[in-house]
Amino acid sequence: MVTLPHSPILAPSLLAGDHANLAASAAVVADNGLRWLHLDLMDGHFVPNLTFGPETLAALRRAGSKLFFDTHLMLAEPQRYIAAFAKAGANLISIHIEPDSDHAGTLAEIRRLGCQCGIVLNPGTPAEAVRHLLDQVDLVLVMTVQPGFGGQSFQPAMLDKLAQLDRWRRESGATWRLEVDGGIDVNHARECRAAGADTFVAGTAFYKARDRAAFAAEVEGLA
């Protein structure tokens, strides 16, 4: 077995937390010994749903959260909002490849603002679409469901895309993280890990777990 560059990280998605009590839902993540929190930002244009905005991140910081804010922008025009998210306390900001824009410029701007940057692919988008950006990202996020809603079923066809991206990463000696998002439970996390993933977003599976600590330990303990 070839060793992957990073040990596994579980990033619970706050989307599946209690929206009347987001600070408490974020605190649960830290209380379970986890370091990352995944924040899903939706604009009703790029995806047919709405969530929260930069002020929510700022409020979580004011409430004391020290988690690494893994910020997933599902926005038609992310370049208009990255400064606000950086100021609000994002640590990593990911943008989708599908909206037509200056992706390279936006990724560079995210770094200039002091954050790590990531590029995201929808299930229908091939790995080739982001190949030209792989030398300027800290993370590649492969959506394993169509973005917009939590609680959907994992799409196994995404495993080949992960394996392709992982091959390119090995060939180039790059160290960006390879993240999966959508329908991830322990079994799917294991399959994705075998295909090269090292960062696992889980909304439903984490917040609805009978034993969250056990779930976290299983995912972050994957070989």
Q: Does 16 bind ligand DX5 (CB under 6 A)?
A: yes
Q: Which lies closer to ligand DX5 via its Cβ, residue 50 or residue 217?
A: 50
Cα→Cα distances 124→92, 134, 145, 153, 189, Å: 24, 19, 10, 15, 20
Site string for Zn ion, 94-133 (x = CB under 5 A): ----------------------------------------
User: Would you say how long the chain is, in residues?
Assistant: 223
Question: Does position 38 bind ligand DX5 by CB under 6 A?
Answer: yes
Reference 181, options 202, 209, 206; nearest CA is 202
Which of 40, 70, 166, 198 does the annotation list as catalytic? 40
Q: Is 152 an interacting residue with respect to ligand DX5 (CB under 6 A)?
A: yes
Judged by CB under 6 A, the residue of 183, 189, 192, 212 near ligand DX5 is 183
- Of 210, 134, 147, 201, the closest CA to residue 173 belongs to 134
Region of residue 196 (phi > 0: left; psi between -120 and 50: alpha; otherwise: beta)? left
Using the structure block, give the residue that is written with the tokens 């244009």: 45
102 part of the active site = no
- Note if 100 is an active site residue: no
Q: Of 70, 166, 181, 198, which one is the catalytic site residue?
A: 181
Which of the listed partners (ligand DX5, Zn ion, none) does 202 bind, with a CB threshold of 5 to 8 Å by partner kind? ligand DX5
In contact, 195 and 159? CB cutoff 8 Å = yes
> Is residue 181 involved in binding Zn ion (CB under 5 A)?
yes
